[in-house]
Protein backbone atom coordinates (compact mmCIF):
# COMPACT_ATOMS: atom_id res chain seq x y z
CA UNK A 1 0.00 0.00 0.00
CA UNK A 2 2.82 2.38 0.86
CA UNK A 3 4.54 1.71 -2.49
CA UNK A 4 1.28 2.26 -4.38
CA UNK A 5 0.80 5.66 -2.72
CA UNK A 6 4.41 6.56 -3.49
CA UNK A 7 4.02 5.68 -7.20
CA UNK A 8 0.72 7.54 -7.41
CA UNK A 9 2.33 10.68 -5.99
CA UNK A 10 5.23 10.37 -8.44
CA UNK A 11 2.81 9.97 -11.36
CA UNK A 12 0.81 13.04 -10.31
CA UNK A 13 4.00 15.06 -9.89
CA UNK A 14 5.17 13.96 -13.35
CA UNK A 15 1.85 14.99 -14.93
CA UNK A 16 1.98 18.36 -13.14
CA UNK A 17 5.54 19.07 -14.30
CA UNK A 18 4.74 17.99 -17.86
CA UNK A 19 1.66 20.24 -17.91
CA UNK A 20 3.63 23.26 -16.73
CA UNK A 21 6.40 22.83 -19.29
CA UNK A 22 4.30 22.31 -22.41
CA UNK A 23 3.90 25.38 -24.62
CA UNK A 24 0.82 26.73 -26.31
CA UNK A 25 1.39 27.55 -29.98
CA UNK A 26 -0.40 30.90 -29.56
CA UNK A 27 2.41 32.13 -27.33
CA UNK A 28 4.63 32.38 -30.40
CA UNK A 29 5.36 35.92 -31.59
CA UNK A 30 3.85 35.39 -35.03
CA UNK A 31 0.40 34.67 -33.56
CA UNK A 32 0.52 37.88 -31.55
CA UNK A 33 2.06 39.93 -34.33
CA UNK A 34 -0.89 41.00 -36.56
CA UNK A 35 -1.91 44.53 -35.70
CA UNK A 36 -0.30 47.95 -35.28
CA UNK A 37 3.03 48.20 -33.46
CA UNK A 38 5.16 51.08 -32.25
CA UNK A 39 8.94 50.88 -32.33
CA UNK A 40 11.15 52.69 -29.86
CA UNK A 41 14.22 52.42 -32.10
CA UNK A 42 15.26 54.61 -35.02
CA UNK A 43 14.91 52.74 -38.30
CA UNK A 44 17.23 53.62 -41.17
CA UNK A 45 16.25 52.26 -44.56
CA UNK A 46 18.31 53.94 -47.27
CA UNK A 47 16.52 57.12 -48.35
CA UNK A 48 13.99 56.72 -45.54
CA UNK A 49 14.80 57.18 -41.86
CA UNK A 50 12.11 56.89 -39.25
CA UNK A 51 12.71 58.15 -35.74
CA UNK A 52 11.35 56.90 -32.48
CA UNK A 53 7.63 56.32 -32.65
CA UNK A 54 7.71 54.54 -35.98
CA UNK A 55 4.55 52.57 -36.67
CA UNK A 56 4.66 49.14 -38.24
CA UNK A 57 1.55 47.19 -39.17
CA UNK A 58 1.49 43.45 -39.76
CA UNK A 59 -1.29 41.22 -41.02
CA UNK A 60 -1.77 37.45 -40.94
CA UNK A 61 -0.94 37.19 -44.66
CA UNK A 62 2.71 38.17 -43.95
CA UNK A 63 2.32 41.70 -45.32
CA UNK A 64 2.85 45.01 -43.59
CA UNK A 65 3.63 48.72 -43.70
CA UNK A 66 6.19 50.94 -42.01
CA UNK A 67 6.04 54.71 -41.55
CA UNK A 68 5.52 57.55 -39.13
CA UNK A 69 2.18 58.44 -37.58
CA UNK A 70 0.25 60.84 -39.84
CA UNK A 71 2.85 60.70 -42.65
CA UNK A 72 1.43 59.39 -45.95
CA UNK A 73 4.91 58.23 -47.05
CA UNK A 74 5.01 54.65 -45.89
CA UNK A 75 6.52 51.50 -47.37
CA UNK A 76 4.82 48.19 -48.02
CA UNK A 77 6.65 44.96 -47.27
CA UNK A 78 6.30 41.22 -47.04
CA UNK A 79 7.67 39.68 -43.81
CA UNK A 80 8.73 36.23 -42.72
CA UNK A 81 10.83 34.56 -40.05
CA UNK A 82 14.30 33.45 -41.12
CA UNK A 83 14.48 29.71 -40.54
CA UNK A 84 17.21 28.47 -38.25
CA UNK A 85 17.66 31.87 -36.57
CA UNK A 86 16.29 33.05 -33.23
CA UNK A 87 13.73 35.86 -33.65
CA UNK A 88 15.23 37.11 -36.92
CA UNK A 89 12.62 38.70 -39.15
CA UNK A 90 13.18 39.43 -42.83
CA UNK A 91 11.34 42.29 -44.54
CA UNK A 92 11.16 42.32 -48.34
CA UNK A 93 9.98 45.71 -49.56
CA UNK A 94 7.75 46.06 -52.62
CA UNK A 95 9.82 49.01 -53.87
CA UNK A 96 12.04 46.79 -55.99
CA UNK A 97 12.78 43.87 -53.73
CA UNK A 98 15.14 45.54 -51.25
CA UNK A 99 15.55 43.67 -47.96
CA UNK A 100 15.86 44.57 -44.27
CA UNK A 101 16.29 42.43 -41.18
CA UNK A 102 15.10 42.89 -37.62
CA UNK A 103 17.21 40.97 -35.12
CA UNK A 104 15.73 39.97 -31.80
CA UNK A 105 12.19 40.70 -32.99
CA UNK A 106 9.77 40.29 -30.12
CA UNK A 107 6.24 41.57 -29.91
CA UNK A 108 5.31 42.66 -26.40
CA UNK A 109 2.74 45.17 -25.15
CA UNK A 110 2.29 46.57 -28.65
CA UNK A 111 5.90 47.68 -28.88
CA UNK A 112 8.30 46.00 -31.22
Digit-by-digit pLDDT tens for the chain (112 residues) are 677 777 787 777 666 666 655 554 444 555 567 888 887 766 666 666 666 668 888 888 999 998 877 778 788 999 988 877 777 888 888 887 788 887 776 665 544 5
Q: How far is the CA of 43 from the CAs of 3, 6, 48, 95, in angstroms?
A: 63, 59, 8, 17
Rounded alpha-carbon distances, angstroms, from residue 65 to 6, 31, 33, 59, 80:
58, 18, 13, 9, 14
How many helices, marked H, and strands, marked E, lie in the chain?
Answer: 2, 8
Question: Is 3 domain-assigned?
Answer: no
Q: Quick one: pLDDT at residue 64?
A: 92
**What is the pLDDT, as a whole number, of residue 26?**
43
Q: Does residue 109 sit within a domain?
A: no
First to last CA, the chain: 56
For residue 36, being part of any structural domain is answered with yes
Residue 2 domain-assigned (yes or no): no
User: What are the phi and psi torsion angles at 50 (to 5°)?
Assistant: -110, 135
Classify the C-alpha dihedral 38-39-42-45 as positive or negative: negative
Into how many domains does the chain fold? 1
Is 4 inside any structural domain? no
Give domain status of residue 11, yes or no.
no
pLDDT at 25: 47
In a domain, 77, yes or no: yes
Residue 62 is assigned to a structural domain of this protein: yes
Query: What distance lies between CA 66 and its chain's CA centroid?
Result: 15
Domain that holds residue 99: 28-103
Amino acid sequence: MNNMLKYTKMLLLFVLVLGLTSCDSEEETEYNLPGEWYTSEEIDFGAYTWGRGTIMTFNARNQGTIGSYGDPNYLLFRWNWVSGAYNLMELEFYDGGSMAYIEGAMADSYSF
